[in-house]
Structure 1
Amino acid sequence: MKIKEENIRLSGMQKARLFSTPFFASLFLPLAILPLSLRAQHKKTADNKTLASAGKVMSYQDSALVKQLFFSALREKTIENYKLATEMFERILQADPANDASMYELANLKRQQNDFAGSEPLLEQAVTLNKDNEWYWAALADSYEKTNTIDKLENVFNQLIRLNPDRSEYYFDKANALNILKRYDDALKVYDQIEKLYGPSDDLLANRQKIYLKQGKVDLAASELEKQIAANPNEIRYYLALGEIYNSNGFSDKALKILQQAEKLDARNGLVHFALADIYRDKKNNEASFNELTQGFAIPDIGIDQKLNIISGYFPKFPDANAKASALELSRILTIAHPGDARAFAIYGDMLIQNAKYKEAKPVLKKSAQLNDQVYNVQEQLVRLELGDNDLDAAIKDGENALSLFPNQAWMNYLVGVAWAQKKDNNKAVGYVKNATSLELQDKELLSLSFSLLGDCYHELKNIKNSDESYDKALTYNPDNAFTLNNYAYYLSLRNEQLEKAATMSAHSNELQPNTASFEDTYAWILFKQKKYAQAKEWMEKALAHDKENSAVKYEHYGDILFFVGNTDAALTNWKKAKGFGEQSPVLDRKINEKKYSE
């Protein structure tokens, strides 16, 4: 059994013994588990005093029945019929109250059901009846652990040591129990006893140090390690331990000195670099700290998990530029030290995105996906980058490949739908986006975006009914989606339908996202359709002021508005500008040729 300092736990080997079924256990522990009444047949008559004190002396016939019932109970326990086994052991104890083996078995059944309050008295009685059964004492130790009855453990471990003095775990468990009880000097005496029996060890060293530090005896904790360093000058772990003791107790200069010695001995020890980084950071020497980190990150022998944790420590400092740059550089080094680990490329890609290096992030995330295609988030991030870069073919290829592995991911269906919509294949887009709406019922953002995109696609497919219904549904999930409001309003105005509704939606989109040229153009055009020409002129001039692309459509719309406010010459000038910016249509040509508005 190993009892941890904070929470006592039996060792794996002892637990296996403790909970194993002692079926035919007499092969291993002669007579230890047989009912006491059966053992009485092989003992002197004086042993019957115990039975008599329990209530009666068992007859030969009674003992034979108890024996048969006992093995029947074991059989039921073996086939996991615990209820019947429990009843049988209880019947044995009614007939033979001093049957310690049945007490032990019944206690084990109760412990399996976490009934430690019920099992503990049985075990205490069992060890009273049979003081030399190691299994009983081990089970009682486990029970005291579970019920946090730490003060009774010392005696239990004394008994276990008496029965099995060669088992080192019992000594350590006793010392740790004393440690929990804050009987530090007594625990140290047990560690001295262990060292005499088994010699010095790192476990002993570590346990003594914990006690010394709890007692505030930093000098004693350090001196133990200094002795180890003197005896083993090339063992870096002792330098690291001593550095940790010094640094965590306010002796950073001593810690720095001992770790610098370790660095000279083994410059390729990443843990030394990380420990030095901590000390330099505490001393506010950020440059030296980061230099030690980069050296440690470059060493492949240090596991990637520890390095990932260090990088994640920078996240709370975002969006600080220095923190983002540091995390980026460390993650770059990570890919060099661990070129076969997908996690290194995943976090490097993420840090590139955090630093707005989107083009550089794409191949890095692609590499991560190639190394491990079972991480969905990496693949979604990659497709988002490809869409942002307008690399539609790559987005479709990688997105559809991701869906072959993760077909039920709603966001990926939406993203692939976006790519197909931008390639003007609206039928394929509709298929993927409808998948997204059927797979996701809770994410309002995704549902709003999906139904809005369906509205766009159905409009392009001339399916006006489905288009309007999709826009309306999108707005139920997010009434403040400015792009949905603008697109829906614009398409209504083109059809000259529900202009009041269109005007309300368009005005709201401009409130949500002011100074957006396309939104202002939509609102101006709706006002034009409503014959509110003065207001339309005002909003179109705003749109042109904010337009950075010299939109031909906006200039044509402006010309239309100017014609109706009576400024024909200015209207003609803007129609000609629209043509010069690339607008080609018979209607525009007619306006220019006839110098008047035409639909």
Structure 2
Amino acid sequence: MNKRVIIRSRMMCWTLLRAACLMLFAFHFSSLPAVAQSSREFDQFFLEAMIQRQKGNNAAAFDLLRHCQELNPEAPEVYYFLAQYYSALKNTEKSVDCFKKAAALQPDNVTYMETLAQIYIRQQDFAQAIPVVEKIYERDKERLDLLEILFQLYQQVGRNDKAVEVLNRIEAIDGKSERISMAKSEIFTRQGNKKGAIAEIKALAQKYPNDLNYMALYAETMMMNGQVKKALKVYDQILQQEPDNNRVLMSLRTYHQALGHQTVADSLTERVLLNGNATSEERVHLLRQEIAACEQEGGDSTRVLQLFRKMLARPQSDEDMALLCASYMNAKQMPKDSISRVLEQALAIAPDNSMARLQLVGYAWEKEDMDRVVSLCQDARQYNPDEMAFYYYQGIAFYKQEKLDEALSAFKNGIGVIKDDSNPEIVSDFYAVMGDILHQQGQAEEAFAAYDSCLVWKEDNIGCLNNYAYYLSERGERLSKAEEMSYKTIKAEPKNSTYLDTYAWILYMEKRYAEAKIYIEQAVQNLDEKQDNSVILEHADKIKLKIKEE
């Protein structure tokens, strides 16, 4: 072959080879930047989505996240946040799908998995929630809270065998406890496995042989599962060691009640109520049961009152028993003097009990024993300084006794405890009576300021409107305001002679004598013979005289 041809052929081969290599390298190096660029673009858009989310621009964040999904369909974080937006948009199906996708793409992410489990539980899809929670627990076996959740979930789907397995897992970590043993025993009972139910509690009692409560629980479990004789034997053993064991006494009481052995049951009731081991809460609960039983049998209160008397004759740790007794006596409409004695006992134990004190104030008020009202309210200053009602009742009591300075002092002290959420009726009356007192003391401007405060709290306080209007008319001041206020009173009570007289007198002061005559005649027609009507009659004479002069 021609040497020049061979050389040219070799050169062509090298040229083609070099071109191929260049194309290969060009392809390789051009594809890497494209991937990197796509990743950078995703990162930029995702970061911007989070920024917009942080700013509260949820629509923009949502759109950016959907673009991120297009850029990288395998990014779990995108699905996690999209799921939240779909949830907000009430698109539950899409939201759940996104949460599933996030958890599937990154099953090691506890947040994703826990969120998915919560969603299943919220939807009551307990069967789906179980494997998710199990996976989370497999990664962190120190989390007892997950086992507690699994226990509940297995019960929800009727897998009691698996629920017991979970309890065994908890027990292996935490040790045997009453709560776990009781839970297992209850499951066995539901399954009809009486032996298993009893054995579980027996094991607990044997593990803690010095704890009589577990022995009592063992006996209760036997009683529930039909082994009555064995249960009674265990109860006897406990009472030999601790004769006043309330748990056993209450169980025996229930047992004898069920058999109709009422005398024995009543004896056990008194034994529980009067022994030193019972807490106040237990005694109150037991007495409530006795009251309910008594009402079912016809409502004879004799036995209940006997129990109360025996109880209250003993030292009390708190006022609960006395208050329950007073409440019962009140329901039975017993004499208020008798109820008062019990309430006094409650106050002696707990002088800061405002409910008992207010009830005593009410009884004293009904008897018009103002000295007693004043005394009770004065003591309340020490124990219930922020209770506005006591200042009010004390002020009114002093006012009824015509002790104006003391009454005014009580009301002024009460103003200091008025709050925005105070009872408007009481606050309004506070200021109304203050206004009356101040006016009687010749402090007209201060009285009018008090009336203004009264009407701020209750604009339709009729008594205040009448007095305010009348006192203004007496001074010949702001008569149009006085007329407006007085008119409200006769609209509210059109046959009230006092209010009609006030309105007539304001019209008289405004020199509207013909109108005044109409209303004063109505006032005279509606006179209350039990009241002093001299002022009304005097006004009537003056108005008639003025009409004649006209």
Tell me the TM-score normalised to structure 2 length: 0.63
Shift of 1:120: 3.2
Mapped pair 1:507 → 2:522: yes
Q: Is the 8 A contact 2:272 2:278 kept in 1?
A: no
- Which residue of 2 is the match for residue 416 of structure 1? 434
Q: Is the 8 A contact 1:452 1:471 kept in 2?
A: yes
Cα separation, 2, equivalents of 1:356 and 1:224: 61
What is the SS of the residue equivalent to 1:152?
A: coil
* CA displacement, residues 347-390 of structure 1 (integer Å, 9 cap, x when unaligned): 43334335543321221122123212122233323323333333
Cα separation, 2, equivalents of 1:249 and 1:347: 42
Q: 2:243 aligns with which of 229, 233, 237?
A: 233
Q: 1:450 to 1:224 in 2, by over 3 A?
A: farther
- Which residue of 1 is the match for residue 393 of structure 2? 381
What is the SS of the residue equivalent to 2:243?
A: coil
What is the SS of the residue equivalent to 1:405?
A: coil
Q: Which moved more, 1:399-408 or 1:227-236?
A: 227-236
- Which residue of 2 is the match for residue 450 of structure 1? 464
Mapped pair 1:467 → 2:490: no
Q: 1:173 to 1:295 in 2, by over 3 A?
A: same
Mapped pair 1:371 → 2:383: yes
Q: 1:356 to 1:290 in 2, by over 3 A?
A: farther
Shift of 1:515: 3.2
Q: Is the 8 A contact 2:504 2:515 kept in 1?
A: no
Indicate the structure (1 or 2) with the bigger Cα radius of gyration: 2
Mapped pair 1:162 → 2:168: yes
- Which residue of 2 is the match for residue 593 of structure 1? none
Mapped pair 1:197 → 2:204: yes
Letter in 1 for 2:322: K
Cα separation, 2, equivalents of 1:430 and 1:505: 25
Letter in 2 for 1:154: N
Mapped pair 1:357 → 2:364: no
Equivalence map 1:35-434=2 (5 Å): 90-95=100-105, 101=110, 104-107=113-116, 109-110=118-119, 116-117=122-123, 120-126=126-132, 135-142=145-152, 150=156, 152=158, 154-165=160-171, 166-168=175-177, 169-176=179-186, 183=190, 185-186=192-193, 189-190=196-197, 192-199=199-206, 202=213, 205=216, 228-236=238-246, 238-239=248-249, 242-243=252-253, 251-261=261-271, 275=287, 278=291, 286=301, 289-290=304-305, 292-297=307-312, 299=314, 301-317=316-332, 320=333, 322-339=334-351, 341-406=353-418, 409-434=427-452
Letter in 2 for 1:423: Q
Letter in 1 for 2:200: Q
What is the SS of the residue equivalent to 1:458?
A: helix
Q: 1:365 to 1:130 in 2, by over 3 A?
A: closer
Letter in 2 for 1:190: A
Tell me, which stretches of 5 or more residues in structure 2 are unaligned?
Answer: 1-71, 85-91, 421-426
Q: 1:154 to 1:126 in 2, by over 3 A?
A: same
Q: 1:288 to 1:122 in 2, by over 3 A?
A: closer
Shift of 1:157: 2.4
Cα separation, 1, equivalents of 2:367 and 2:228: 44
Q: Is the 8 A contact 1:450 1:474 kept in 2?
A: no
What is the SS of the residue equivalent to 2:317?
A: coil
Cα separation, 1, equivalents of 2:267 and 2:452: 65
Q: 1:224 to 1:460 in 2, by over 3 A?
A: farther
Shift of 1:403: 0.8
Q: Is the 8 A contact 1:212 1:221 kept in 2?
A: yes
Cα separation, 1, equivalents of 2:218 and 2:368: 49
Shift of 1:423: 3.0
Q: 1:429 to 1:340 in 2, by over 3 A?
A: same
- Which residue of 1 is the match for residue 13 of structure 2? none
Q: Is the 8 A contact 1:175 1:188 kept in 2?
A: no
What is the SS of the residue equivalent to 2:197?
A: helix
Shift of 1:105: 1.4
- Which residue of 2 is the match for residue 578 of structure 1? none
Cα separation, 2, equivalents of 1:187 and 1:209: 13
Q: Is the 8 A contact 2:150 2:166 kept in 1?
A: no
The higher relative CO (CA closer than 8 Å, separation ≥ 6) is in 1
* CA displacement, residues 71-102 of structure 1 (integer Å, 9 cap, x when unaligned): x989xx9xxxxx9x999864433436x76956
Q: 1:225 to 1:105 in 2, by over 3 A?
A: same
Q: Is the 8 A contact 2:468 2:482 kept in 1?
A: yes
Cα separation, 1, equivalents of 2:318 and 2:275: 21
Shift of 1:434: 0.5
Q: 1:193 to 1:201 in 2, by over 3 A?
A: farther
CA RMSD of aligned residues (A): 5.2
Letter in 2 for 1:308: L
* CA displacement, residues 489-535 of structure 1 (integer Å, 9 cap, x when unaligned): 45656887445555446636855x7534545973696388548xxxx
Q: 1:150 to 1:126 in 2, by over 3 A?
A: closer
* CA displacement, residues 292-343 of structure 1 (integer Å, 9 cap, x when unaligned): 43453465543224533442344455xx4x3423321110112223346555
Cα separation, 1, equivalents of 2:476 and 2:229: 84
Cα separation, 1, equivalents of 2:221 and 2:407: 56
Tell me the TM-score normalised to structure 1 length: 0.58
Q: Is the 8 A contact 1:188 1:208 kept in 2?
A: no
Q: Is the 8 A contact 1:482 1:509 kept in 2?
A: yes
* CA displacement, residues 249-282 of structure 1 (integer Å, 9 cap, x when unaligned): 8654223323455677669997769849858897
Q: 1:297 to 1:138 in 2, by over 3 A?
A: same
Cα separation, 2, equivalents of 1:103 and 1:155: 29
Percent of matched pairs sharing the same residue: 11
Shift of 1:397: 0.9
Q: Is the 8 A contact 2:246 2:278 kept in 1?
A: no
Cα separation, 2, equivalents of 1:379 and 1:162: 62
Q: Is the 8 A contact 1:86 1:109 kept in 2?
A: no
- Which residue of 2 is the match for residue 61 of structure 1? none
Q: Is the 8 A contact 2:223 2:231 kept in 1?
A: yes
